[in-house]
Structure 1
Amino acid sequence: MISEPELVGGTEFPAALEPLPAEPARRGPRRPWLWALGGAVVASAVWAGGLVAYGRQEDGRGPDLKGYRLGVDPCGRAKLDGLASAFGRRGEPTNPITVEQPALYRAQCMVPLEGKPLFYEVQVTYTVHRVTDPGPEFEALLNDPLEGGEQVSGVGEVAEFTNGGGQTSLRVLDGQAVIELTLSPNLMYDGVGPPPEPPELDPAATRTFLVEDVTALMAALRA
């Protein structure tokens, strides 16, 4: 905050200055793009400052990522041996959609399981919280009666298994990382007759495969 100026050498004010000549009339309003450019420069400076600040955090003051790597393709590292053994051969994954920010890295992609007569898809979501603790939010959703599922032990710090609506998922919190696998059938509909119903899956068997594959993926993301 700028304080009031102090008076030096007494309380007398200097003599009034000679009036300045009148400012010539403006030829027109200031171009709005100049203001936009100024705003962009300020925003860039703030963004760069955030990157520099986070770089200092990574030097020793940031959270421990427990070896989880940033900038990796989770589908490229997801072998999915357990799910593939039950639902079909692992196909070619999609390219990940990524979000890279000073506070967050997230990659999401899809791996097809080419079974017969039905194809399945596994959505892989990999999130690393680079600044804040994801634990409170994870546990809040775990205890939400509308969003929460069944807690699973033996994988990560906390894990949640959900089954319903034709899809099954396992979401795992491990330090600053959250890894989620979601299995769903690829129901092709040609518009003739009633739409196909999602098949009934054995939740216990599917959960076992998900735990196996998430555990292997967690190790691969730290390699």
Structure 2
Amino acid sequence: MISEPELVDEPGPDPAATAATDTRDTLDAPRRAWSRRPWLGAVGGAVVASAVWAGGLFVYDWVGPGLGGYRTDRDPCRVAHLDGLASVLGSERGEGSRPPQKREHPALFRWNCSVRLAAGPSAYDVVIDYELHRKTDPGPELGAEMDTLGYERTGDLGDVSYVDAGDDDSVRLVVLDGQAVLRMFVMPNVSPTDGGIAPEADPKAPTAGPAALRTHAVEDMRQLMSALKS
């Protein structure tokens, strides 16, 4: 007859070994956590940096470049005193040779106007063109244009200025100041009825050579730039 199997007592867990295992796990836990932290920190830093970079692009695209305080609510020909040019060309100031033109666009603001100095046959026209670029940098394109036209680069005004003082009693001054481009052309008035020929100058009227016109145009442009930002 097969008898019942005898029950044999299994040895229980060794309390000393269990305590040693628990102690080792406790000591290893910080090392395992530390080994993961550099990787997690790098990923977290990259995510934060990407978010900041993307946020910066969003803010720049939304706000646009700084306009340097230049305003669009002032007629440049009205706020331009032109005291320097008037002192050598005649103090009498008349209406411009053509109506002012104002163009408004989200990317570009432009105002073109003119002032006539000294009534009579020796009158001069001062043409002012004011551009405010709201989205892009006008510098590279303007520099290429001035090089093509042969303008002389100077450091008299703004970020950079260009001048073309010819030998025909005229001067052309162009200024880049941040996002603003300002042009001032000073030339003898030529009426279409004269066949494109300037009338004979009045001997008693004030006259100025290209060098004097350039000096006074720079002074008057500086005043105009300040007036457009005040």
TM-score bracket for this pair, using the shorter chain length: 0.5 to 0.7
- Whichever of the two has the greater Rg, that structure is 2
Q: CA RMSD in A?
A: 2.8
* d(CA) in 1 for partners of 2:161, 2:115: 21
Structure 1 segments, 4+ long, off by >6 Å, are 56-60, 197-200
1:206 Cα deviation from its structure 2 partner:
1.0
Structure 2: runs of 5 or more not aligned: 1-57, 202-206
Bigger helix share: 2
Give SS of 1:143's match.
helix
Whether 2:133 is the aligned partner of 1:126: answer: no
Structure 1: runs of 5 or more not aligned: 1-55
Structure 1 length normalisation: TM-score?
0.65
* d(CA) in 2 for partners of 1:139, 1:179: 13
1:75 counterpart residue number = 77
Q: 1:152 aligns with which of 151, 154, 165?
A: 154
Structure 2 length normalisation: TM-score?
0.63
Give the stretch that moved more between structures: 210-219 or 66-75.
66-75
Q: 1:141 aligns with which of 110, 125, 145?
A: 145
- Quick one: structure 1 residues 68 and 87, their matched pair in 2 at CA, closer, same or farther if it must change by over 3 Å? same
1:117 Cα deviation from its structure 2 partner:
4.6
CA contact 1:74–1:126 (8 Å) conserved in 2:
yes
* d(CA) in 2 for partners of 1:86, 1:133: 36
* d(CA) in 1 for partners of 2:200, 2:152: 21
Q: Deviations over 1:29-76 (max 9, x none)?
A: xxxxxxxxxxxxxxxxxxxxxxxxxxx979963101000002321111
Equivalences for 1:57-76 in 2 at 5 Å? 61-76=63-78
Whether 2:183 is the aligned partner of 1:180: answer: yes
- Quick one: structure 1 residues 196 and 59, their matched pair in 2 at CA, closer, same or farther if it must change by over 3 Å? closer
2:4 counterpart residue number = none
- Quick one: structure 1 residues 77 and 124, their matched pair in 2 at CA, closer, same or farther if it must change by over 3 Å? same
Code of the residue aligned with 2:182 in structure 1: it is I
CA contact 2:122–2:199 (8 Å) conserved in 1:
no
